[in-house]
Structure 1
Amino acid sequence: MFTVSSEIGRLRQVLLHRPDLELLRLTPANKDDLLFDEVLWAKRARQEHDVFADALRERGVQVHYLADLLAEILKIDDARAQVLDHTASEAALGPTLAGPVRAVLDDMDPQTLTRHLIGGLTKAELGLAVHNLLLSAVDDGDFVLAPLPNHLFTRDPSAWIYGGVTLHPMAKAARRRETVHLGAVYRHHPMFTGDGLPVWYPGTDFALPSLEGGDVHVLGDGVVLIGMSERTTPQAVELLARRLFTAGAAREVIAARLPRRRAFMHLDTVMTMVDRDTFTVYPELPPLRSYSLTPGNDHGLEVLVHENESLFPAIARALGLSRVHVLTADQDIRAAEREQWDDGDNVLALEPGVVVAYERNVTTNTMLRRNGIEVITIPGGELGRGRGGPRCMSCPLQRDEVTPMKEATP
């Protein structure tokens, strides 16, 4: 039922997370630890997110909310146990506190538990009178269970690739519980349990090399593009490529090496696919070294790595095209940096040639329209301050197949 075999096939179903308590708990004091640059106005962020969801629905996309799915599976004993085994472990809380916290969480109804799993739990809310080193070291307003404001970016903890899903061991500890929630949803929710869902990368094993969904681009026709960024490691790319090859799910993985800077956190912060042969790209993006990974034998257990001369010709070759179109906005370096900071190139394709973008990125949106791309704009005054655009805030679950383009014969 669920398959994503391209970046631009007509989007049918998507997973979002509507911001809630976790954004209310973002402060100037904790924002850096929680990987945010700014403190968002939570009410306005929710309003903007509702506009985003409505824009998708108006184009026929079925929207699923992560918190709803999580609350539904927490009614299932095995699912609740799976989540709490990770959340209230001795490694996370210490041996004298893990049991009491587990008991408090287990006593919550599914909606309340979901709210605190995502929104966090303070010492005062925990209400435990136990002798414990962790509790003795924190004040009543401090978190025993940290909030997860980055759940807003549903793209990162998992990705759907050609009929299977990857679960991602996130690079930063502040985000790893997100993957626990997605892993439990995919394993236990009736939406996903009927067809023996293949898991290409079991990211709830946090010993695995880090991989994040903002770096994973399913280009179509058996080709996957993955950024090697500050969040996604070369080792993870090779492991995922081998798994896709052995399953026959992909025939080539192209790895692009990004500068290891926050401004280039993921590949989709600097480029996204907007049509069958077209990408929108940050104008100041330096040439990226890239590598093609292919199966070395019939079983795919051997992975061959070949360095490409240039990224976009390698993409064109892999897709059977003479070239791909690279669209960049004509603007000076400061304007380009501003729109890249505001996720000007982080757009979500709803079908070939139709994308959702933040309205504030006027220059990039105008450039796309002049090149025949329909741009549906949404407000991003608050959401954009989280440093993630429409692609970051969405995890596609189902897209229509897209017929590979055929070059015209002379």
Structure 2
Amino acid sequence: MKDLYVGSEVGKLRKVLLHRPQLSLKHLTPSNFETLLFDDVLRIDQAGAEHDRFQQVLTENGVEVLLLNDMLAETFISAEAKKWVLDRQINHYRFGETLATEVRQYLESLSNPDLAECLTGGLTLAEMGACSKSMTLGRLKPTDFLIEPIPNHLFTRDTSCWIYGGVSMNPMAKPARKRETVHLRALYQFHPMFKNKDFINYLSDCDCNYDNATIEGGDVLVLGRGNVLIGMSERTTPQGVEQLSRALFKTGQAKKVIALELPKSRSCMHLDTVFTQMDLDCFTYYPEIMRNDTDCWELTMNNQEQLEANRVQGCFTDAIAKALDVPELRLVPTGGDIFEAEREQWNDANNVLAIEPGVVVTYERNVNTIKNMEQAGIKVLTIPGEELGRGRGGARCMSCPISRDDI
């Protein structure tokens, strides 16, 4: 199979992109965590240790782990790549002409690893030591950010997601996450692992304003056999689903997209927080949200290359079973009584990462859901998540598969 190809949710996982948070968490404070889309500040050392354990579990099970900051530093060896990124993040409109020149010069003086850390982790006025005669600079406090931290880079699934023979570099819904896409576009365009390689870029216009057509990878499940499941959640719009579907159909990478309507709430930020595939016919789900009456559409392309969206009659699980060519789905609910289930869903019990059919990685704290999974014949590999889990993302959110087998 191709090295850059994701053919399913549950086939053998070969290669994955992660991001170990450090500087961005240091810059996360009680006064800014809500703006940066976190629910609390995290212990930096503990979060890092938990992420290290996540990496270890993956490598022990034959998965090649790539780290975002390392990959960006390698990308910046190319002067063209460095210029491309800085052109899109440092400009006169954002900083004013005088300060923009000083910030640009400072960033260009950094080593490639330090530049990668700065762009993902943030930069304050005091850290840079700016001294230009700029009105903008004169109104800033030493602790104000010249470059905002991006702690949500931790969730590499959302910014880009590989679907069969290509990658969707997603237009993000929230302003705090939009710069993430710049970094991933640079990575896939300039890094030696991806440059001049044979893969499709589904949303290829890097400077396009996609307006209301937003989509995030946590809502995208590659079911396999030419099918894709997408949730329309707090972050993914019908317009985004249509844009991605058209690209998938026109490039021949998919034949059908199943779209699910989801609540627009923090607890159901993405589809994979309430519904995730663990084996060919087995899914974990949160019953309070994934009900039989969940609205569902099937998108296809007709002979005139026009999208057709048809509302599914009956339960959405029947449409998924049909796409997977199985009689019915095995559904494993979030565990415990109503209170325990709500807590475990909040702590990403349903957000599991399959590393091969029937083998998943999840947070050890969700004991009731783990029990349900094991009773259903799923092998569960656990990782600590006391700190990482407070970012509202589990093993699937924190991973971007780049190479995975078909089913």
How would you bin the TM-score normalised by the shorter chain?
over 0.9
Written as runs of structure 1 = structure 2, the 5 A alignment for 1:372-383 is: 372-383=377-388
Match of 1:343 among 331, 341, 348: 348
Match for residue 73 of structure 1? 75
One-letter amino acid of the counterpart of residue 324, structure 1: L
Change (3 A) 1:116 1:222: same
Written as runs of structure 1 = structure 2, the 5 A alignment for 1:10-409 is: 10-202=12-204, 204-205=206-207, 207-208=209-210, 209-287=213-291, 288-297=294-303, 301-309=305-313, 310-402=315-407
* Segment drifting more, 231-240 vs 134-143: 134-143
Separation in structure 2 between the aligned mates of residue 49 and residue 283 of structure 1, nearest angstrom: 29
Match for residue 408 of structure 1? none
Q: Is the 8 A contact 1:169 1:205 kept in 2?
A: no
* Segment drifting more, 104-113 vs 8-17: 104-113
Q: Is the 8 A contact 1:347 1:391 kept in 2?
A: yes
- State the shift of 1:219 in Å: 0.2
Give unpaired runs (5+ residues) of structure 1.
Answer: 403-410
Equivalent pairs: percent with the same residue? 50
Aligned residues: 400
Separation in structure 2 between the aligned mates of residue 318 and residue 181 of structure 1, nearest angstrom: 34
One-letter amino acid of the counterpart of residue 317, structure 1: K
Separation in structure 2 between the aligned mates of residue 267 and residue 318 of structure 1, nearest angstrom: 18
One-letter amino acid of the counterpart of residue 109, structure 1: S
Q: Is the 8 A contact 1:226 1:256 kept in 2?
A: yes
- State the shift of 1:369 in Å: 0.3
Separation in structure 2 between the aligned mates of residue 55 and residue 239 of structure 1, nearest angstrom: 36
Separation in structure 1 between the aligned mates of residue 383 and residue 93 of structure 2, nearest angstrom: 42
One-letter amino acid of the counterpart of residue 360, structure 1: R
- State the shift of 1:105 in Å: 0.9
- State the shift of 1:319 in Å: 2.0
Separation in structure 2 between the aligned mates of residue 389 and residue 132 of structure 1, nearest angstrom: 43
Q: Is the 8 A contact 1:37 1:385 kept in 2?
A: yes
Separation in structure 2 between the aligned mates of residue 252 and residue 176 of structure 1, nearest angstrom: 28
Separation in structure 1 between the aligned mates of residue 138 and residue 269 of structure 2, nearest angstrom: 36
After superposition, the C-alpha distances for 1:75-115 in whole angstroms (9 at most, x for unaligned) are 11110011101111233323342222112111211011111
Change (3 A) 1:203 1:173: farther
Match for residue 405 of structure 1? none
Separation in structure 2 between the aligned mates of residue 34 and residue 133 of structure 1, nearest angstrom: 26
After superposition, the C-alpha distances for 1:116-159 in whole angstroms (9 at most, x for unaligned) are 11111111122222233332222011111011111111101000
Separation in structure 1 between the aligned mates of residue 103 and residue 158 of structure 2, nearest angstrom: 28
- State the shift of 1:206 in Å: 5.4
- State the shift of 1:282 in Å: 0.9
One-letter amino acid of the counterpart of residue 173, structure 1: P
After superposition, the C-alpha distances for 1:10-40 in whole angstroms (9 at most, x for unaligned) are 0000000111111111100010110000100
Separation in structure 2 between the aligned mates of residue 240 and residue 170 of structure 1, nearest angstrom: 13
Separation in structure 2 between the aligned mates of residue 192 and residue 3 of structure 1, nearest angstrom: 12
One-letter amino acid of the counterpart of residue 235, structure 2: R
Q: Is the 8 A contact 1:284 1:336 kept in 2?
A: no
- TM-score, length-scaled by structure 1: 0.95
* Segment drifting more, 69-78 vs 132-141: 132-141
Compute the RMSD of aligned alpha carbons: 1.3
Separation in structure 1 between the aligned mates of residue 323 and residue 343 of structure 2, nearest angstrom: 32
Separation in structure 2 between the aligned mates of residue 366 and residue 119 of structure 1, nearest angstrom: 37
Separation in structure 1 between the aligned mates of residue 205 and residue 286 of structure 2, nearest angstrom: 30
One-letter amino acid of the counterpart of residue 390, structure 1: A
- State the shift of 1:203 in Å: 6.8
Match for residue 8 of structure 2? 6
One-letter amino acid of the counterpart of residue 214, structure 1: G
Give unpaired runs (5+ residues) of structure 2.
Answer: none
